[in-house]
Structure 1
Amino acid sequence: MTVPAFEEYVPAIDCICAGCAAQRRTAASALPVRYGGHPAAHGARRALVLATAAGVVLGSGVAEAAGSTGTTGDRAAGAAGAARTDPDGDSPQGGPGPLRGGGAAGPPSSTTTTPKLRKSSRAAIINRAKKWVSADVPYSMVKYWSDGYRQDCSGFVSMAWNLPGNEWTGSLAAFGTRIAREELQPGDILLFHNPADPSKGSHVTIFGGWTDYTHTHYTAYEQTKPHTRKKTTPMAYWTNSGKYVAYRYKGLSGGSAGSGSSVAGFPGAAKFGPGASNKYVTQLGRMLTDRGGKRFYEVGPGPGWGDADRRATQAFQKAQGWKGKEADGIPGPDTWRLLADGTGRDIPGTGGGGGGGGTGAGHGDSNPDSKFPGRGYFRPGQSNSHVDRLGKQLAKRGFGKYYTSGPGPRWTEADRRNVEAFQRAQGWRGGAADGYPGPETWRRLFG
């Protein structure tokens, strides 16, 4: 009788059998034990299969065993997919390490020491996240983008938070302060790290703001398959929702990490205007440059109020669709809040690369949808393209839950209730939230 012997078998990269496919998936998703990976996962990197000492070809029993393993794995994957309402949420990740490629190389970070923090504003965090969204950066746990950050979920957050290296879900918490979900503001993160098996379910997203007044959904910036995305997401995530923890970056500029905002509250209009010179003017200028206003400043920003501050402020106000006294170039509470929170619309580019005098002017009018058509189109019995456009925009912004079908061109009670929900999300009450769009509702909805 031939004496059986054991040898290590590495699955062929081009083999399509279920057993080899299962082994390749296991090997790709398992993290090194030194980074918190599960030891059992590494035992599956190489399968021990039975072979004879005489070199007899693997028998059908072993092949069936391999096929059975693959079938079990497929069933488990199917069960996981059935439990997940969003099929893109499974994003394995790499471990901590330095920046690569175009990024500045450096030693891997260590969570055993106090992490180095680079100051960053909420607006800067969101703007960096938007760059990856615009570039459709492909998801990968082994590739690095041109800025040096790894193209997985934790590399994405490392980039947005401007960390000195690539972190992972097991180390990101060291760079943040834990907060309650009710305190979430743009630039904070929602993090789930599974210490028992980090390759199973661990994920992190960037909070971009609430999409409804009930705070049940938010705008999530995240790196997931197939590429970076910005998507309305249920709080806290599609799966493992109860296990996600909210964190605020410790290096937020203009305030402590645990404060309600990275920037102090509005100091009052008297701090701005001709003759003013104080720290708030500097702070305003820095926030404006983060939102596209850098071209207005030849030098600065600085504490002395100048025409560059007025023009940059006016460009930001006009980018929100404001006109007249609302866009006079002097910041008020609403202007300050949008800048401090990193919300609202950025200052648009000049297009021709000239001076900044007309940068923000007419930005709202350049969008044909931004002009309010009139109240008469939105009443019972009305049927027109404006109602259809309104309904589609409501659904796009996350306020379409009352539509059982549609939206469509005929005004219905579902349209009114969805408009009312959007108005209440703005903080309006009473007659200001009656469910019938007016100029301000229209501007905010399409702005």
Structure 2
Amino acid sequence: MVDLWMPGAARHDVGDHAPTDPTYPARAIAHITWDKNASPSAPADHISFETLLSYFTGSGVQMAPHLIWDPFTGQLAQLYPADSRSKSVVDLPGGTRTNRAGKYVIQIEAVFFPYTRYNGKVYATLADTPCKGWSDINAWTRSLGIADAWPMGHPTDFTPHRSESVWETAGGWYAHAQVPENDHVDPGSWPSFITPVKPPQPPTYEPFPGAGFFVAGRKSPIIRAMHARLVAVGCNHYLSSADADVWGPGDERSYAAWQRKLGYTGSAADGIPGPTSWTALHVPNV
């Protein structure tokens, strides 16, 4: 089950939901708000997240995206659920359904314009900013099945690159400058995709099969795996490696050496595996 509302984003549902068109692949559209025209010689102060949120939930609701994202603070607000179209691109009657062309068509407005001044520093492009919150956005869009790919190229400038045939056939990420029927040239840049971090997987070891398992003549791949581990930990008291999968005297001698290595003495080092010593041996799962 996917999250239609992004975890961690403030929910400001503006209503007026409408279905998307799943005959197209899932995609995301990258925008910047471009709410000021600044330049290298005349930078302008950052417009607050709250100001843009107020606009898109008020007088600008007819142009509202799914997500509003402040790359300086990491603030996020979501205005539509993922399975509804939003309204940040032109969608002409009778043409490609730009706002709806995909199982999901997630539109993201970064609160940014070129040469934004924030805390005294000027940022020429969105990718220059701290991009706080981007990893969370990327993880969420990936969970919706939106590929980490730019079919028309990762945006690096403010020029349009549009192909309706690519748009209609390829899922992934698109700049506003790449969406058919539109004339905007943003976002100019966008942060790189975040490589998913896979949690370390603990080794899988063979569970203790019970003391009654270890009887003369027992044949099992578990015994072969145990044999190899006893050799690996320096407790090799086998006369040969023949019949390594059959429990016999060599196994008892070698396992007793392992028990002594763990500090067991007397009858506790009798060569018959117990749960504690078995767990410590890390016999691979077979």
Q: Same fold (TM over 0.5)?
A: no
- Structure having the higher helix fraction is 1
Which structure is higher in RCO with an 8 Å CA cutoff and minimum separation 6?
2
TM score, norm. by length of structure 1: 0.18
